[in-house]
């Protein structure tokens, strides 16, 4: 009689880390544990926290193996590299070691469950070096259970170690946290996940496109377990097709939009071609892409362009074509434009996710983005109002972008008459520099093209070059220690303090403070509709 085939093990269980070397993305924690073990500075309680699927419970089991491993010759001590062959290592890996007790706090929340542990810790380990208690989702314990555990947790017997895991560390009492050595496990970067998934498909003898694995890595949101579950589904979805796991199949399975399609839609939004935008949206909807997923893709595009403009490191999971497109847009779009696009798309996503008519809401939101390009920039309007310049006419037929978007049109090269006006004039193109000049620059002399300031703190960037990009004259900027005015921020704070003193000194408020000695003056920042 032939033996029945072994039951299938899902990838998330089959490829659970068995050594610290297989634990991806947590190098800092592994180094700390390794140093503690080598120096004999082992805490009596460890707390692993982080999002789902980053290896909290796996890490607890690895620590149990590291503390109880006896090596191939049976004489070994605690090590950061457990052999995985000795009986303690095998028993712990298989979940059958009598001295390593795992408890799910989600189903054992009461004080009686903790009392069993308190009673058992008094007895020495049966066969291991340490008796270890692994409590998963420890935040689910009741208040009384935590209180019952405190004394034992603070002064446990030398042969006992506690290993806690939780996804919601904020729900763990501070009294417990203070008694544990805490490790915050990081989300695993998408490029590391994609590399790990490539190793898995190689081991499984399954072919997979690198773009497909990158899509799965992004969808996993830093969780190895979630990613392996998606990969399992993708392999089943591909079936016996010769191409293996493809990016097209993964997008179809997850309801994702083709990133190339997102970039084309983003370009149409910038061009102001409303009919083409609606057509592209309908095409994606017909392919099964949810409107919310499309908006998330557009938001990712805006975020990618903004990071490229700010000089951020590119996402290693992006294709060469995607990086080139983002860098091209970063050269054309201003910060004000990108911030406005982000806010409009974010508002649109919220509407799409909460309405009963997501497709209609998506159309209206995208049309709002298109027509936002015909509106004058608020900063430009304010500048014109203050300077008395004529207001620009709004062209209802104008596109959002012609090479570069109308929203990011350069300010008129008329030099402001005041230093505050100068700062406001460069804010749309050099927001960071404008903020630094506002907060740290004390004015000594302002007589364009001359500008002399006393910086209270170092100011980044070439000030003269930045001013010249907005107001093209030959600026001469001097940094000096001469007597100067307070910075604009200091002036604002002084004005605010004076206003507060005036209010506090008024008879009515003085009477109120006399009647209520503890009363304080607070600023109400709520907007009035």
Q: b/e string for 16-50 if b means 16 or more Cβ within 10 A?
A: bbbbbeebbbbeebbeebeebbeeeebebbbbbbb
pLDDT at 2 over 80: no
pLDDT at 315 over 80: no
pLDDT at 382: 59
DSSP string, 449-516: TEEEEEESS---S-HHHHHHHHS-S--EEEE--S--PPPHHHHHHHHHHHHHHHHHHSHHHHHHHHHS
pLDDT at 40 over 60: yes
Q: b/e string for 73-89 if b means 16 or more Cβ within 10 A?
A: eeeeebbbebbeebebb
Query: Roughly what angle, to the nearest 10 degrees, separates helices 224-238 and 210-220?
Result: 140
Distance of CA 380 to the CA centre of its chain: 33
Q: What number is the average pLDDT over the span 462-486? A: 85
Question: Residue 135 — very low, low, confident or very high, per pLDDT cuts 50/70/90?
Answer: very high
pLDDT single digits (tens) 356-373: 899 999 999 999 998 876
User: Contact 476/450 with Cβ under 8 angstroms?
Assistant: yes
Q: Which two tokens stand for residue 306?
A: 């903004």
Q: Which two tokens stand for residue 381?
A: 């309007």
pLDDT at 526: 46
Distance CA 149, CA 523 (A): 44
Order of strands, sheet of 450-455, starting from the edge strand that comes earlier in the sequence: 441-447, 450-455, 476-479
pLDDT single digits (tens) 409-443: 444 457 888 889 888 888 888 888 888 898 888 89
Greater pLDDT, 83 or 381: 83
pLDDT at 130 over 80: yes
SS3 assignment, position 182: strand
Distance of CA 321 to the CA centre of its chain: 24
Q: Which two tokens stand for residue 222?
A: 């830093």
Angle (CA) 323 328 334, round 5°: 120
What's the whole-number average pLDDT of the chain? Answer: 83
Nearest in space to 172 (alpha carbons), one of 132, 133, 143: 143
pLDDT at 47: 92
Does the domain spanning 190-254 belong to CATH 3.20.20.10? Answer: no
Residue in this structure with the two tokens 């634990």, named with its chain if needed: 23
Looking at the chain, the whole-number percentage of residues with pLDDT higher than 70 is 85
Nearest in space to 140 (alpha carbons), one of 117, 164, 175, 116: 164
The CATH code of the domain at 11-184 is: 3.40.50.300
pLDDT at 408 over 60: no
Q: What number is the average pLDDT over the span 450-466? A: 86
SS3 assignment, position 281: helix
Contacts of 353 (CB under 8 A, 6+ apart): 292
pLDDT at 160: 92
Q: What is the DSSP letter of 391?
A: P
pLDDT at 133: 93
Question: Residue 527 — very low, low, confident or very high, per pLDDT cuts 50/70/90?
Answer: very low
User: Contact 189/218 with Cβ under 8 angstroms?
Assistant: no
Nearest in space to 333 (alpha carbons), one of 373, 366, 367: 373
Segment among 95-104, 289-298, 380-389 with least mean pLDDT: 380-389
**Alpha helices in 310-400, H assignment, sequence order:** 320-332, 335-354, 358-372, 378-387
Residue in this structure with the two tokens 């890490």, named with its chain if needed: 59
pTM for this structure?
0.57
pLDDT at 425: 87
Q: Which burial class, exposed, middle or buried, applies to 305 when counting CB atoms under 10 A from its CB (0-12, 13-18, 19+)?
A: buried
Q: Which CATH class is domain 259-372?
A: mainly alpha
- Phi/psi of residue 245, each to 5°? -85, 115
Distance CA 208, CA 213 (A): 7
Segment among 113-127, 219-233, 505-519 with least mean pLDDT: 505-519
User: Contact 299/348 with Cβ under 8 angstroms?
Assistant: no
Q: What number is the average pLDDT over the span 128-133? A: 91
Segment among 111-115, 201-205, 260-264, 267-271 with least mean pLDDT: 260-264
pLDDT at 410: 42
Distance of CA 93 to the CA centre of its chain: 33
pLDDT single digits (tens) 389-405: 555 554 444 444 444 44
**Domain assignments of the chain as residue spans, ordered by start:** 11-184, 190-254, 259-372, 419-485
pLDDT at 277: 92
User: Contact 280/271 with Cβ under 8 angstroms?
Assistant: no
pLDDT at 243: 63
Nearest in space to 185 (alpha carbons), one of 61, 55, 15, 65: 55
Nearest in space to 114 (alpha carbons), one of 68, 159, 164, 67: 164
């Amino acid at each position: 009689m032939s033996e029945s085939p072994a039951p299938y093990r899902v990838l998330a269980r089959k490829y659970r880390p068995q050594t610290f070397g297989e634990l991806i993305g947590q190098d800092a924690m592994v180094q700390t544990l390794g140093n503690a073990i080598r120096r004999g500075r082992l805490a009596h309680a460890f707390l692993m926290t982080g999002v789902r699927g980053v290896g909290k419970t796996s890490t607890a089991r690895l620590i149990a193996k590291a503390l109880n491993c006896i090596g191939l010759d049976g004489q070994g001590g605690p090590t950061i590299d457990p052999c995985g062959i000795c009986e303690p290592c095998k028993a712990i890996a298989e979940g059958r070691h009598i001295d390593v007790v795992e408890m799910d706090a989600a189903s054992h929340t009461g004080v009686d469950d903790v009392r069993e542990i308190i009673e058992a810790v008094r007895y020495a380990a049966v066969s291991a070096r340490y008796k270890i208690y692994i409590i998963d989702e420890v935040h689910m314990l009741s208040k009384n259970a935590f209180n019952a555990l405190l004394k034992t947790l603070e002064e446990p017997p030398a042969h006992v170690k506690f290993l806690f895991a939780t996804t919601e560390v904020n729900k763990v009492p501070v009294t417990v946290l203070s008694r544990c050595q805490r490790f915050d496990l990081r989300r695993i970067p998408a490029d590391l996940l994609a590399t790990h998934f490539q190793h898995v498909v190689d081991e499984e003898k399954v072919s997979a496109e690198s773009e497909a694995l990158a899509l799965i890595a992004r969808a996993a949101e830093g969780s190895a377990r979630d990613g392996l579950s998606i990969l399992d589904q993708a392999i089943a979805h591909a079936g016996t097709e010769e191409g293996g796991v493809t990016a097209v199949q993964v997008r179809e399975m997850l309801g994702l939009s083709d990133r190339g399609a997102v970039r084309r839609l983003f370009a149409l939004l910038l061009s102001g071609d409303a009919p083409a935008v609606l057509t592209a949206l309908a095409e994606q909807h017909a392919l099964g892409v949810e409107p919310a997923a499309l908006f998330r893709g557009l938001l990712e595009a805006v975020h990618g362009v903004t990071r490229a403009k700010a000089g951020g490191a590119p996402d290693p999971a992006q294709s060469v074509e995607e990086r080139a497109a983002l860098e091209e847009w970063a050269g054309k779009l201003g910060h004000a434009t990108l911030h406005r696009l982000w806010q409009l798309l974010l508002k649109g996503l919220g509407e799409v996710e909460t309405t009963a008519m997501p497709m209609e809401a998506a159309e209206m939101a995208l049309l709002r983005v298109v027509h936002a390009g015909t509106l004058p920039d608020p900063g430009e309007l304010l500048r014109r109002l203050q300077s008395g310049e004529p207001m620009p006419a709004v062209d209802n037929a104008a596109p959002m972008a012609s090479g570069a978007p109308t929203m990011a049109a350069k300010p008129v090269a008329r030099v402001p008459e005041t230093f505050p006006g100068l700062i406001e004039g460069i804010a749309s193109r050099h927001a960071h520099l404008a903020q630094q000049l506002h907060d740290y620059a004390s004015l000594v002399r302002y007589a364009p093209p001359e500008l002399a300031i006393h910086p209270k703190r170092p100011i980044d960037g070439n000030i003269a070059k930045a001013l010249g990009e907005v107001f093209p004259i030959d600026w001469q900027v001097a940094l000096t220690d001469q007597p100067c005015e307070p910075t604009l921020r200091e002036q604002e704070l002084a004005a605010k303090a004076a206003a507060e003193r005036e209010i506090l000194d008024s008879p009515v408020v003085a009477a109120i403070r006399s009647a209520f000695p503890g009363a304080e003056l607070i600023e109400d920042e709520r907007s009035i509709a």
